Structure 1
Amino acid sequence: MALPNCSLKVNKELLDTSFESYRLSLDSIPTYNVELDAAVAEVKLKDSQYTLDHVRAFGMYNYLHIDPWYEDSVYFVDSKGRVLNLTVTLDTALGKPCEMFRFESDPSSCEGEQLCASLSLTSATWATLSDGTGKLTLLRTSKRGESSHIKWEPVFSERLGEPFIIVHSLAHMLSNVHTIEVLLLRIQKDPSDTKGSGFSISLEWITVDNSAGQGENEERKYGVRKRRMMKGKTVPHYTAVEPLGKGIIVASEKPFAFTEVDGLPLEEPPAEDMEVENSDPIYFWQQTEEDVTVCVRLPEGTTKDDIRFKLAVDCLRVGVGDHAPLLDGQLFAPVDPEASSWAIKDDKSLEVSLQKRSEGPLWSEVVLGDRRGEYLMSDEQKSQLQQRLSYLTAEDLNPNPEKDKPPCNAQELEDCDMFPEDSSTLMRFDGATLKPTHVVSLGSHQFLFSVNTDPSEMPAFCLRHDVDALLWQPRPHQDNDIWEHISTFNALGKATCKQILMLSVTLKPLNFLLIVILQPEAISFFSLFIPV
């Protein structure tokens, strides 16, 4: 069964085609520094945590948490096992660190595996906390903005197996039952993975509520109501639970699939839905540096009047009569619709000529996520490719060391030297069936970062689109376009993540007022105001 492929629809009104460049401002930025009486609780990777996934998940962890409900507050865990709060007053100064919660025992003294303590600010009055040893704690915080000095009250604490970090959490009320959804990330040894790193990635979706003990005079107690396990091969770029726990969204280089519910394996592994049925290609395509030619097979007896053709700058739709479209979705790169054309050849195929808007870059596919076509390379292109790669296939290890391009030994490459795979996907899973309902092939749309634009909604994520960086907001209540393009970083598609972080404060209509640098013994804050 093929996956339900979808596409990301760009809002052209948010694109600035006349954008030229940024201008450097030399205005000084206010900087504040706070000395700490104990170091930040940093946990360094062990020798056994040697893969790139370990570095992504635990080695690059941000120990400082900005409160999305109260932007003047930040939290961190120190080496004494305390959750500390700093109230940021950008116009004047910073308040002293205030203790909000303290672990019963020092996590650093625990034997066995330990990860960094992780904190997720679940709602305006709740938080979830992991001590890094496998223990999950739910905390009632009151309204943090109004009661910033009231200590947090633990209402649930339980060990949930191997150590994990919290990647997302949210709270909701249904039928007078308070429910908290939490996503936990683990990297575990996988003996069956003999050809890979030897590890597998697990995402566990935990549902905790207070449905137990609902008598008139009986206090409602929180407990784990449901546990769902997903498995994958790479640390996800993005993952979050939908409001009301109706589903989950995951963006990753390799797809995830649900494998267990409450400790029991699924009877029908969802991985079978990942397989695409083998069939003959329904279209063939070629390309040059200037254009792309697509030949689509047509049903017998098709006439010109039967063709349903629609072409935009970044979308193509080809159909026959009232039947389902033969090609429908987002193009790999922008084209010039006015310079493009189509024609019926020999009453058997429809030939579509697409004029590339930018000459040079070669496409890896026509429509993103559509694998039903076959790419035909011309003899000239084959010859050029063989000449460019000849130094890699020479019989001698290094036939000519003086050349600019010495031979490459793939065995010497580490995981971090590899290019990201073109198979990266953005998937939405239904919370009831645990099966994918929407799938987008990201292809060349490199994942850049995620950010909370509105605490009442799911985190937004930023993807590279050609030379721009586009911000997408998940809207799971919309049946069709569940990912909405809400803003654009002009000409930042090729910038490094660090550059994007420093420049993200200029994003309109959204404002990020705080840049933070965390050091072992001190925390520095940089504020930057941009008028809307």
Structure 2
Amino acid sequence: MRAFGMYNYLHLDSWYQDSVYYVDQFGRVMNLAVTLDTALQKPREVFRLPTDLTAYDNRLCASIHFSSSSWVTLSDGTGRLYLIKSGKRGNSASEKWEIVFNEELGSPFIIAHSVSFLKCDTHTVAVLLLRVEKDELDTKGSGFHITLEWITIAEISKEGEHRYEIFKRRVLQGKSVPHYAAIEPSGDGLMIVSYKPFKFLQDEDDNSEENDVKVTNEKKDPLYYWQQTEDDLTITVHIPQDITKDDIKVRFSPDNICVTLKDQPPLMEGKLYSSVDHESCTWIIREDKSLEISLIKKNEGPQWPELIIGDTRGEFIMDSSQCSEISESLMHLTSEVMNPNPEKEKPPCNAQELEECDAFLEDSASLCRFDGDTLKITHVINLGSNQYLFSVVVDPREMPCFCLRHDVDALLWQPHCDQPENMWEHIATFNALGYVQASKQDKKFMACAPDYSYAALCECLRRVFIYRQPAPLSTVLYNRKEGRQVGQVAKQLVATLECNDPILGFQATSERLFVLTAKTLFLIKVNSGN
């Protein structure tokens, strides 16, 4: 339902503001552009899918993604992908949609994202396809899994002829529909926000080996044990009797560790959960022939949930003092008597104080970055209770931004794949939007203006809510409770559509909102001046 039932049928061309597209039931791609302030051109057919869509019973919705200012990826919902050279779309005279590649790619999908770029002077398009597939082996869960297929299509020259072919296909699998999934502009990586983790599926040969390894690993003892305090971590590794000090190499860096014995492949290697003071890290061989490694945390205090990101071969050991500290800190939450003293000023927990809109449907989501070459996760951030709200394209040359709830507010984050030290930049805040949207039980779509001047959401039927950023007041206003003068006020506007048809599409530009129903496209002017 989340993948296809809540699908946004209206597609905003971020390369050309105030130009929207939709695919109608006959497979025609229709364009609507704003000519005057609120005047729309008549719907203009720019392309027609060759497939007779009425002949398919189980097809998905057709989906479009604008990979660049002159390239488009298009799915007809039957399992066929089209790569289209559109020409410059902002001008109808130079806009001519021409198929340069189309291929049947298996079961039906929708396009989650696509990018166009030059790699080694070759024009390349990377596309992310989303499918919900039946999982025959899953007897306890939903019975379905989600696949994201990352396809790279490149232009090749054969015998003086230029054509596009699939260069690489990679598949990720997970158990929940991703909130956000986008390919980096360079095509080198992929970012996903999801409730349950995704992982790459290797080729079948690799899979069988991987499964054998898993089975044998389950019977083995942990490869290493680790403990931690607020300041440091201690790792203990059992080593064979014939290994001497000269056979051991331990390399420390601020974010990585590598342990090798003799000339064997690394025993332990990978990215640490957090940074360490690598110059102060040490290792010794103890009397019981075990290797003990001491890591000094760069940031004192926070507990690490794992030692090496993605490495499950170790076992964390908690000492008795840490156990007692945790149980003491949780003591006030539990009691053998049900709410022993409800009259006191601060009872242990009063569920009535939690409003219905504060309860999240899901525990927490994670933000992961996957490397396109190694297919490994390079960054993981647990979003905790920072609920995902929506995504928006602020600059079409960059990755889409995603908006998260932080307490009562909503914060907009811009990914920068080329800046490892500032990979996610906070670029805007919508005050109180996190709280307000949570109280709207019938909400369907959310969006914001690319210039952050307002955020908006719509319900399934009729109503659209617009939340403007705080603006200076022309008159003097006082807060009645505190008696202080109020300098700025954020206005909320409500628009009610003159029809009862379900809202199927919703897009925001800096000055106007587009709202699509089965029969009508509504244009709402959001004048930023007042």
TM-score for both structures, normalised by structure 2: 0.65
Contact in 2 for aligned 1:504/1:512 (Cα 8 Å): no
For the residues of structure 1 that align with 2:154 and 2:233, how far apart are their CA atoms? 55
For the residues of structure 1 that align with 2:336 and 2:394, how far apart are their CA atoms? 45
For the residues of structure 2 that align with 1:447 and 1:97, how far apart are their CA atoms? 34
For the residues of structure 2 that align with 1:120 and 1:320, how far apart are their CA atoms? 45
Counterpart residue number, 1:249: 191
Q: Give runs of aligned pairs for residues 109-508 of structure 1, distance below 5 A.
A: 109-111=55-57, 113-147=58-92, 150-213=95-158, 215=159, 218-260=160-202, 265=207, 279=225, 282-283=228-229, 322-323=280-281, 324-326=295-297, 328=299, 375-377=326-328, 380-384=331-335, 387=338, 419-422=361-364, 424-496=365-437, 498=443, 501=447, 503-504=454-455, 506=468
Out of 66, 70, 84, which is 2:12 matched to? Answer: 66
Query: Residues 406-449 of structure 1, C-alpha deviation per residue, up to 9 Å, x if partnerless?
Result: xxxxxxxxxxx983123x21111111000011111111111111
Q: Which has the higher contact order (CA 8 A, sep 6+)?
A: 1
Alpha carbons of 1:490 and 1:115: their partners in 2 closer, same or farther (altered >3 Å)?
A: same
Structure 2: where are the runs of 5+ without partners? 235-273, 282-294, 308-315, 317-321, 341-349, 352-358, 449-453, 457-467, 472-507
Structure 1: where are the runs of 5+ without partners? 1-54, 284-294, 300-315, 330-351, 353-365, 390-403, 406-416
Deviation of 1:367 after TM superposition, in Å, equals 6.1
For the residues of structure 2 that align with 1:368 and 1:67, how far apart are their CA atoms? 43
Deviation of 1:464 after TM superposition, in Å, equals 1.6
Amino acid at match of 1:252: S
Amino acid at match of 2:299: D
Greater shift, 93-102 or 513-522, is seen at 513-522
Identity %: 44
For the residues of structure 2 that align with 1:320 and 1:260, how far apart are their CA atoms? 34
Alpha carbons of 1:378 and 1:477: their partners in 2 closer, same or farther (altered >3 Å)?
A: closer
Residue 480 of structure 1 aligns to a residue in which SS? helix
Contact in 2 for aligned 1:118/1:129 (Cα 8 Å): yes
Contact in 1 for aligned 2:363/2:385 (Cα 8 Å): no
Query: Residues 432-473 of structure 1, C-alpha deviation per residue, up to 9 Å, x if partnerless?
Result: 000011111111111111100000000011112222211111
Residue 493 of structure 1 aligns to a residue in which SS? helix
Alpha carbons of 1:239 and 1:100: their partners in 2 closer, same or farther (altered >3 Å)?
A: same
- Kindly indicate which of the two structures has a greater share of residues assigned to strand: 2
For the residues of structure 2 that align with 1:385 and 1:454, how far apart are their CA atoms? 56
How much is the aligned-residue C-alpha RMSD, in angstroms? Answer: 3.7
Alpha carbons of 1:265 and 1:125: their partners in 2 closer, same or farther (altered >3 Å)?
A: farther
Contact in 2 for aligned 1:90/1:527 (Cα 8 Å): no
Contact in 1 for aligned 2:24/2:30 (Cα 8 Å): yes
Deviation of 1:327 after TM superposition, in Å, equals 7.1
For the residues of structure 2 that align with 1:267 and 1:183, how far apart are their CA atoms? 27
Deviation of 1:322 after TM superposition, in Å, equals 3.5
Amino acid at match of 2:135: D
Alpha carbons of 1:320 and 1:478: their partners in 2 closer, same or farther (altered >3 Å)?
A: closer
Contact in 2 for aligned 1:227/1:261 (Cα 8 Å): no
For the residues of structure 2 that align with 1:277 and 1:487, how far apart are their CA atoms? 45
Residue 376 of structure 1 aligns to a residue in which SS? helix
Contact in 1 for aligned 2:51/2:76 (Cα 8 Å): no
For the residues of structure 2 that align with 1:87 and 1:105, how far apart are their CA atoms? 26
Deviation of 1:117 after TM superposition, in Å, equals 0.4
Deviation of 1:508 after TM superposition, in Å, equals 9.6
For the residues of structure 1 that align with 2:208 and 2:187, how far apart are their CA atoms? 20
Deviation of 1:91 after TM superposition, in Å, equals 1.0
For the residues of structure 2 that align with 1:66 and 1:277, how far apart are their CA atoms? 51
Amino acid at match of 1:181: A
Amino acid at match of 2:60: L
Alpha carbons of 1:86 and 1:379: their partners in 2 closer, same or farther (altered >3 Å)?
A: closer
For the residues of structure 2 that align with 1:219 and 1:164, how far apart are their CA atoms? 30
Deviation of 1:121 after TM superposition, in Å, equals 0.9
User: Do structure 1's residue 524 and structure 2's residue 495 form an aligned pair?
Assistant: no
Query: Residues 378-433 of structure 1, C-alpha deviation per residue, up to 9 Å, x if partnerless?
Result: 585254486269xxxxxxxxxxxxxx99xxxxxxxxxxx983123x2111111100
Deviation of 1:496 after TM superposition, in Å, equals 1.6
For the residues of structure 2 that align with 1:507 and 1:263, how far apart are their CA atoms? 55
TM-score for both structures, normalised by structure 1: 0.64
Deviation of 1:223 after TM superposition, in Å, equals 1.0
